[in-house]
A and B are shown apart, each in its own frame.
Chain A
Amino acid sequence: MSIATGALRNIQDVARDPRSWWQRSKGNIELWANLIVIGWALAFMLWRGGGFAITVGSVFAIWAILAVSLNLVVGYTGLLSVGHIGFFGIGAYAMAVLSSNASYEQLRTEAIPTFGWPFFAALPFSVILAGLVALVVGVAFNRFRDDIYVLVSFGFAVIAFTTFLSWRNLTRGAFGIHEIARPAIGSWVFEEELEFLALLLVFLGLVVLIAWLIVTSSFGRVLTAIREDEQAIAVFGYHTTHYKLAIWVISAMMAGLAGALLASWSTFIDPNSFVLLESVLLVSIVILGGLASIWGSLLGALAFVMLEEGMRFVPFLPSEFIGQIRQVILGILLVLLMLFRPQGLVGRFKL
């Protein structure tokens, strides 16, 4: 919010006195990060408007929900979890299993039961299931802190992936699940990509609103206090484990929501979408954008998606190496950014 009003004030300043505005702003990295990322995104939309921009927007919306949800745990509460992709996968698989209507060839591949639920019936179930799993593992995770927390959450991501791969009479293992339902209200199906993007943005708005309400509430202040010094806040009579568990479950439910949306968006999922590497990318997005900043997570997701997709347009590369070079450039940019801006684009707090 303050960024938005700040931006508005800046625009007024620029109009009034461009030179002194430049003097004051040239060292303001936060402002430039905002201008560059959003400017690049807008330029990209104008340049490559249409179907591809809609796809990129949809990917951004899904990853933004994930990043905001993870920032609640990592940024605000200080619990470095790299297992978030597990909840993303649980949400996606719950949606897939419940809403898929595919019939499978019996002989060769695994046939699984089909329920054929509509999207909006499966959605709350997916979110609640992710929350329930989070509740169970969260009770165990609360015994750990700091580096050990990273390791156990790492373990959770591995277990989740293996489960998706091995629980074959539910998930069809490596074969994946087809024909996942698109959302429908009455007879109106969100078949067009633009309609789905609108739906994704509504859910993103909802998640941002909930996250904002949390971090500005007294509950959110206790979380921040836990991050700064858990023992100190416990001395004042706060049951820190309850707070940590609560935010963990809320965050997992948001990730489950993102997963359910991904499944419906792509209409096909297999375990490859939920490998550990994706979890590491997610943590990079949160750190890239800035810890303990909702706006930072949105900006981080936008920067990451625009960087990755924009890189498709780097000219003069031999076709055999395009993919690899994209990854290398992306890696170098992230390293440079962390070197010169360890608190992330707009963050205030370092790990």
Chain B
Amino acid sequence: MGVLSIKRTLSIALLAVLVLAAVGCGEEEKGPFRIGVMESVTGAGETYGTVAVQSKQLAVDEINAAGGINGRMLELIVEDSKCNAQDAITAYNKLTDVDEVKIILGTSCSGAMLGAAPLAEKEGVVMFSGLATNPDIAEAGDYIFRTSLSDATVGVDTGNVLWADGIHDLATINESTDYAEGVRRTTTAQFEKLGGHIVAAESYPTDTTDFRTQLTKLLNANPDAIHVASQAEASGGTIIKQLRELGYDGPIYADVVPIGTTALEIAGEAATGVKAITPDLDPANAKAQEVLAAFKKKYDYVTLPWFLGSAYDNVYITAECLKETGDDQDADGFRDCLYDITWSGTIGVDYSFDEKGEVVGLSNAVLEVLPVAERTEENGGYRVLGAAPTS
């Protein structure tokens, strides 16, 4: 009898455990979709990482308030990947091993992205960034995607803008750094491909303060326009100022640096009318204005609007793909969904991803510097003319 009762107790206990487990599983089915986020929220790149996390959280809160994805909530698990490979690898392993996520949004720092990408590629985990711009990321693998534009696109779009503006003879001056030299090289290549001529080219080392000799050489070649690519705002601003002082009144084109706040202070009125090619939100896009207003309402500040919008769009694209696959563990399905998707959101309309996971259908915007009287902190001293032409 004693043995029997023990057996009975045991079987009841076992049954209870099974029922509990079943209930547990049932809850598991209806639990939230869990997505990893890796951003550089401390150290170098902190501003970018923080904006990205906040923007993503804003989008997630909106999605959940609207009833989630097919009734399931979306949950972000945020880890600090800092700005280097080592911290990115630990953050990546924490997310994939402890939290067992298969989809990671991030990172904002290219160095961190490239550190974790080989692991993600090997283990079949999707990494999806809205901010990293290093051109090498294009080659990082099949599971690596981004909505951010590679630095290489700036030059291509600049070439297109120059040609569309009717420039035939171009003179260039650039700082000898990887970024500025890269912009110069890609600009020149695209411009020449379209039929333009480079009539003069100069480059200068970082910390140069007087450019008159080099600029005079450029002007002697009689160019239709001059392109300035610099890495430091001080040199970009000084070049524009000295160009006008030398009597040049033709068009000036630049990358984003020579129209930064410091550069505009140095150049003053000389900078008026300078055109810069860089990613920026389209002022005509109502969605973009809506997102900026929502972000401002939630966090009481707005910075880096394009990157903010890019991170925000990442979450909505993720939600759309999760709706399709219905499983946050299905990285392959998610990857295929990204390859197929065409999206319209904050940073542009009808954009998609090519076979390298690079975004296509987005272009840089053309900005024009306003006269000194119209420059405010709000507008950054420039207005957006519109998207750069794609050809």
Contacts and interface: CB of A to CB of B under 8 A. Distances in A.
Interface of A: 48, 50-52, 54-56, 59, 104-105, 107-110, 168, 172-176, 178-179, 262, 266-270, 272-273, 275, 277, 309, 312, 319-320, 322-324, 326-327
10 contacts: A108-B135, A176-B114, A176-B134, A266-B86, A266-B89, A268-B117, A272-B83, A275-B44, A312-B79, A326-B42
Given A48-B98, A272-B109, A320-B57, 17 more contacts: A51-B96, A55-B90, A56-B90, A105-B139, A107-B189, A108-B135, A109-B136, A110-B178, A174-B179, A175-B136, A175-B178, A178-B114, A268-B117, A319-B37, A319-B76, A323-B42, A323-B49
B254 interface: no
B54 A273 contact: no
Contacts of B80: 322-323, 326
A172 B177 CA distance: 11
B167 interface: no
B114 A109 contact: no
Main secondary structure of the interface of B (DSSP, over half): helix
Interface in B143-159: 150-152, 155
Interface string B72-89: 000011111011111001
Contacts of A272: 44, 82-85, 109, 111
Contacts, number: 123
B53 interface: yes
Contacts of A179: 118
From B79, B136, B155, residue with most partner A Cβ within 10 Å: B136
Nearest to A49: B97
B97 A51 contact: yes
A100 to B, nearest CB: 12
A52 B94 contact: yes
Contacts of A59: 86, 90
A165 to B, nearest CB: 9
A266 B90 contact: no
Contact of A320 (B53, B94, B185): B53
A277 B43 contact: yes
Given A108-B152, A173-B178, A323-B49, A273 B98 contact: no
B359 interface: no
Contacts of A108: 135, 150-152, 155, 182, 185-186
A270 B84 contact: yes
A121 B239 CA distance: 48
Contacts of A105: 135-136, 138-139
A262 to B, nearest CB: 7
Main secondary structure of the interface of A (DSSP, over half): helix
Contact of B85 (A48, A107, A175, A269): A269
B96 A178 contact: no
Interface string B176-202: 011100100110010000000000000
Contact of B118 (A174, A267, A322): A267
Contacts of A52: 93-94, 97-98
Contacts of A51: 93, 96-97
B214 interface: no
Q: Chain B interface: which size bin?
A: 35 or more
B41 interface: yes
A54 B97 CA distance: 10
Interface string B86-111: 10011001101110000000000111
B93 A273 contact: no
A270 B178 contact: no
B53 A107 contact: no
Contacts of B258: none
Nearest to B115: A268
A59 B186 CA distance: 39
A309 B178 contact: no
Contacts of A322: 41, 78-80
Nearest to B78: A319
A277 B79 CA distance: 20
A109 B178 contact: yes
A217 B96 CA distance: 46
Contacts of B117: 268
Q: Which 3 A-B pairs have the closest CB atoms?
A: A323-B41, A323-B80, A51-B97
From B44, B98, B182, B185, residue with most partner A Cβ within 10 Å: B98
A176 B135 CA distance: 11
B64 interface: no
Given A176-B114, A319-B37, A273 B182 contact: no
Nearest to A53: B97
B42 A266 contact: no
Given A105-B135, A175-B134, A324-B42, A268 B85 contact: yes
A107 B84 contact: no
B50 interface: yes
A178 B78 contact: no
Contacts of A54: 93
Contacts of B138: 105
A277 B78 CA distance: 23
From A50, A178, A268, A269, residue with most partner B Cβ within 10 Å: A268
Contacts of B84: 270, 272-273
B86 A273 contact: yes
Contacts of B50: 320
Contacts of B57: 319-320
A135 B202 CA distance: 40
A48 B90 CA distance: 13
Nearest to A317: B78
B144 to A, nearest CB: 13
B116 to A, nearest CB: 9
A106 to B, nearest CB: 10
From B37, B76, B85, B118, residue with most partner A Cβ within 10 Å: B85
A176 B96 contact: no
B42 A327 contact: yes
A308 to B, nearest CB: 9
Nearest to A267: B118
Contacts of A109: 134-136, 178, 182
Interface string B34-63: 000101011110000110011001000000
Interface string B257-296: 0000000000000000000000000000000000000000
Contacts of A172: 178
Contacts of B155: 108
A324 B86 contact: no
